[in-house]
Amino acid sequence: MHSNHLLLEEPIRMASILEPSKASSFPAMTKIVGTLGPKSRSVEVISACLKAGMSVARFDLSWGDPEYHQETLENLRAAVKRTKKLCGVMLDTVGPEVLVVNKSEKSISLQEDGFVVLTPNQELEASSELLPINYDELSKVVKKGDTIFLGQYLFTGSETTSVWLEVSEVKGDDVVCEIKNSATLVGSMYTLHAAEIHIDLPTLSDKDKEVIASWGVKNKIDFLSLSHTRHAEDVRQAREFLSKLGDLNQTQIFAKIESVEGLTHFDDILQEADGIILARGNLGLDLPPEKVFLFQKAALYRCNMAGKPAVLTRVVDSMTNNLRPTRAEATDVANAVLDGSDAILLGAETLRGLYPVETISTVSRICAESEKVFNQDLYFKKTVKYVGEPMTHLESIASSAVRAAIKVRASVIICFTSSGRAARLIAKYRPTMPVISVVIPRLKTDQLKWSMSGAFEARQSLIVRGLFPVLADPQHLADSNNATTESVLNAALDHGKLAGVIKAHDRVVVCQKVGDASVVKIIELED
């Protein structure tokens, strides 16, 4: 890891700090994933979220029934039509999560220095003396002195809703714990996290498989967020499962890293996965606090060099109940951008928080400010050096397009792509200007029926920093001669003009395939 020099452009003028931020319709290059739930499922609120900068919607099927989430998804589709803003769909699995079941849903208060028993007997009622869990083997994997965290929304740092326990003895199947902080647990289910302990449950639970095969297939999900990924094998098995489901063989798998076990196998996991989600909530429990920043920087660097999207969670917890983030949180979001994140994932803040729309627009504004000072020059050199020579054909075209765009101060890069790979490679070099990726639909057949592909590819670029997809109109593509490319290019330019990123006399870099050759050209616009 030799990448820890400042990713800031020097010097920053004080004057620029005092200028008000400009509004633009591409608010930020960094993307925002919002989790939809009770406070964010109406067409109105979702439309406002899309306008504020959300480009992927996450559905957490560990709670609520599929019908509830289906209704939310129909509202999302209506909002997409209304706002004309594309949005990807991410399904989050439950994975090997140990849960405490509180059937009566009465709140349970735990007192510091008292004791509480964790038992696998789920017939029993939860109380302040006894908590039934869904995992029979806990007593076999923990020992005296181990740390266990427990709460409804894992340990945000405001420790009144979650509790920290220390194992004091193991009695048969039961685990007796000393309570380290007073807390009140509310709701019907709490998550249990045992620090640095391997929970021997499958990464895709039977419930996950059922939800993916029904809800996931029916809705052709773009992304699967694979919770608690611990080994590359987890990703391979999930991919095998998806490819058997027909409609989901194009779904991208994002490995969610949330334990030391996942970090240990990070490089192998990164090779297998389409992207990475760094779940800092759980990781913050598994790692000592002083190590959290290091793994973030190291992991983001590796994702960037591999050209795979990296998503960061848990950034503005306090906005769940407040209109403004704390200073530390605002700084944290900015650092995530400077460290190289592609997207920021919001959980409780949009799911049940009081200010889902304000949270998205606040995060988006912080990202936009950080992008202005992101040291692109240094990043570019570092990436080229990392990739080394000889470069693949595509990689050299992508890096040349970015270099040209920066040299001529182009206002956008337009990239024609059918698989989305070329556009993602251009984004890998983190140009300072937006990349409009024009996804050319392809006709394909499974011998029974013909179908147009392209929508998947377009939506999957919605999680990549700096990529803004436009789906080319198949009517423009009737034949493959030059006139059609011309009309598609004009449509893309119009899109950029409407969005306010291209104006008269601007230069635009275009990257496309002509026959067997890849061409990077610079065009200068008239009035």
pLDDT tens-digit readout, 410-467: 999 999 988 889 999 999 999 999 999 998 887 777 677 776 778 888 999 999 999 9
Q: Do 214 and 258 sit in the same domain of this protein?
A: yes
Structural domain contains residue 7 = no
Structural domain contains residue 516 = yes
Burial 131-164 (b: 16+ CB within 10 A, else e): bbbebeebbeebeeebbbbbbbbbbbeeeebbbb
Residues in CB range of 25: below 8 A, 6 or more apart: 499, 500, 501
What CATH number is associated with residue 451? Answer: 3.40.1380.20
Residue 137 in tokens: 């083997």
Between 170 and 1, the higher pLDDT residue: 170
DSSP-assigned states of every residue in 223-265:
EEEETT--SHHHHHHHHHHHHHTSTTTT-EEEEEE-SHHHHHT
pLDDT computed for residue 3 by the predictor: 47
Q: What is the helix (H) or strand (E) element at residue 67, kind and residue range? A: helix 66-83
What CATH number is associated with residue 173? Answer: 2.40.33.10
Structural domain contains residue 16 = no
Q: Do 46 and 169 sit in the same domain of this protein?
A: no
Structural domain contains residue 2 = no
From 194, 216, 232, the end of a domain falls on: 194
pLDDT computed for residue 1 by the predictor: 47
For the segment 262-273, the average pLDDT, to the nearest whole number, is: 97
CA distance 41 to 51: 15
Q: Would you say residue 173 has pLDDT above 80?
A: yes
CA distance 259 to 301: 19
Q: Would you say residue 159 has pLDDT above 90?
A: no
pLDDT computed for residue 101 by the predictor: 85
CA distance 194 to 155: 13
Q: Do 56 and 139 sit in the same domain of this protein?
A: no
Q: Do 89 and 73 sit in the same domain of this protein?
A: yes
pLDDT in tens, 215-237: 999 999 999 999 999 999 999 99
Q: Do 367 and 403 sit in the same domain of this protein?
A: no
pLDDT in tens, 498-509: 888 899 999 999
pLDDT computed for residue 64 by the predictor: 85
Residue 207 in tokens: 């419930």
Reported confidence tier of residue 516, pLDDT bands at 50, 70, 90: confident
Q: Do 481 and 365 sit in the same domain of this protein?
A: no
Q: Do 399 and 414 sit in the same domain of this protein?
A: yes
CA distance 47 to 82: 7
| Distances in whole angstroms, Cα of residue 356 to Cα of each of 48, 361, 439, 527 | 9, 9, 30, 40
From 304, 339, 372, the end of a domain falls on: 372
Reported confidence tier of residue 4, pLDDT bands at 50, 70, 90: very low
Reported confidence tier of residue 195, pLDDT bands at 50, 70, 90: confident
CA distance 184 to 383: 48
Residue 255 in tokens: 């490995």
For the segment 93-109, the average pLDDT, to the nearest whole number, is: 89
Q: Do 120 and 218 sit in the same domain of this protein?
A: no
CA distance 259 to 95: 13
Between 155 and 183, the higher pLDDT residue: 183
Structural domain contains residue 6 = no
Using CA of residue 319, residue 321, residue 322, residue 323, what is the dihedral sign? positive
What CATH number is associated with residue 302? Answer: 3.20.20.60
CA distance 51 to 360: 9
Mean pLDDT of the chain: 89
pLDDT computed for residue 286 by the predictor: 86
pLDDT computed for residue 484 by the predictor: 67
CA distance 326 to 333: 11
Q: Do 107 and 209 sit in the same domain of this protein?
A: no
pTM, full prediction:
0.92
Reported confidence tier of residue 154, pLDDT bands at 50, 70, 90: low
Strands ordered across the beta sheet of 507-514: 467-471, 435-439, 412-417, 507-514, 517-524
pLDDT computed for residue 470 by the predictor: 86
Q: At what angle do helices 376-387 and 292-306 cross, to 10 degrees?
A: 70
Structural domain contains residue 18 = no
Share of the chain above pLDDT 70, in %: 91
Q: Do 230 and 259 sit in the same domain of this protein?
A: yes
Q: Would you say residue 279 has pLDDT above 80?
A: yes
Q: Do 173 and 223 sit in the same domain of this protein?
A: no
Between 61 and 265, the higher pLDDT residue: 265
pLDDT computed for residue 486 by the predictor: 83
Q: Would you say residue 480 has pLDDT above 70?
A: no
From 194, 218, 240, the end of a domain falls on: 194
Structural domain contains residue 461 = yes
Q: Which amino acid is at 428?
A: K
Q: At what angle do helices 327-339 and 292-306 cross, to 10 degrees?
A: 30
Reported confidence tier of residue 482, pLDDT bands at 50, 70, 90: low
Q: Do 367 and 485 sit in the same domain of this protein?
A: no
Residue 65 phi, psi dihedral angles, 5° rounding = -95, 160
pLDDT computed for residue 401 by the predictor: 97
Reported confidence tier of residue 477, pLDDT bands at 50, 70, 90: low
pLDDT computed for residue 478 by the predictor: 52
| Residue-range definition of the domain harbouring residue 174 | 98-194
CA distance 70 to 83: 20
Residue 509 in tokens: 């870099």
Residue 331 in tokens: 């700084």
* Number of domains the chain contains: 3
pLDDT in tens, 465-476: 999 998 877 665
Structural domain contains residue 258 = yes
pLDDT computed for residue 119 by the predictor: 95
Q: Would you say residue 526 has pLDDT above 90?
A: no
For the segment 355-379, the average pLDDT, to the nearest whole number, is: 95
Q: What is the helix (H) or strand (E) element at residue 489, kind and residue range? A: helix 482-498
